[in-house]
Homo-oligomer: A and B are copies of this chain.
Amino acid sequence: MQRRTSSPMPSKPASITMDAVYAAPGYLFRRMQQIAVALFIEECKAFELTPVQYAALIAIHTHPGIDATRLSAVIAFDRSTLGSVIERMEAKKLIERRPSPEDKRVKLLYLTKAGAAILRNIMPSVEKAQARMLQPLKPADRKVLLALLTQLVDLNNEASRVPLRAENALEHLGKSG
């Protein structure tokens, strides 16, 4: 029964079909990411906010005075890309960047009034988008999927370039608070 020997037999010439794509989890995750973004943009188009900008807004609201490096850890978002995201949000006057008095390298991030207002108002639309993407499943299945997905993301955390470092990444902040 041993089939792992590297025998000269091509062990079935594979006969490649599109199922090698359609059944691959990586393909399915890419599709769901596309769908999730499309639904988010559609539901939130009045606010002209992207999913990543929304996550950043929440994180800055939760951690006022966070810097870009820590923000990237808190939303598991690449630091290089985050620079331009912050730039766009600053241009839209949703956030402010202020130099840290303690460290001349860092720039601390704060919500503006407009940013806080958008955050308050956008929540229902965001929740509608999140609900819509699971809508086609039966309620019980939604719970199962969400639970497994949460598990999987958590257990695969270190596999991505920017592992999530939630709140504990900020432990040494706020010592002046």
By a beta-carbon cutoff of 8 Å, the part of chain A in contact with chain B is: 14, 16-18, 20-40, 51, 54-55, 58-59, 61-62, 74-76, 119-120, 123, 126, 129-130, 132-134, 136-137, 141, 144-146, 148-153, 155-156, 159-162, 164, 166-167
Which residue of chain B has the shortest Cβ distance to A14 in the bound complex?
A: B123
Give the number of times this chain occurs in the complex, counting copies. 2
If over half of A's interface residues share one DSSP class (helix, strand or loop), that class is named, otherwise mixed; here it is: helix
**A25 near B134: Cβ-Cβ < 8 Å:** yes
**A153 near B25: Cβ-Cβ < 8 Å:** no
**B18 near A166: Cβ-Cβ < 8 Å:** yes
**A137 near B148: Cβ-Cβ < 8 Å:** yes
**B17 near A26: Cβ-Cβ < 8 Å:** no
Complex formed: what's the CA distance from A153 to B133 in Å? 9
Which residue of chain B has the shortest Cβ distance to A75 in the bound complex?
A: B21
Q: A120-B14, A159-B39, A160-B35 are in contact. Are A26 and B129 (CB under 8 A)?
A: yes
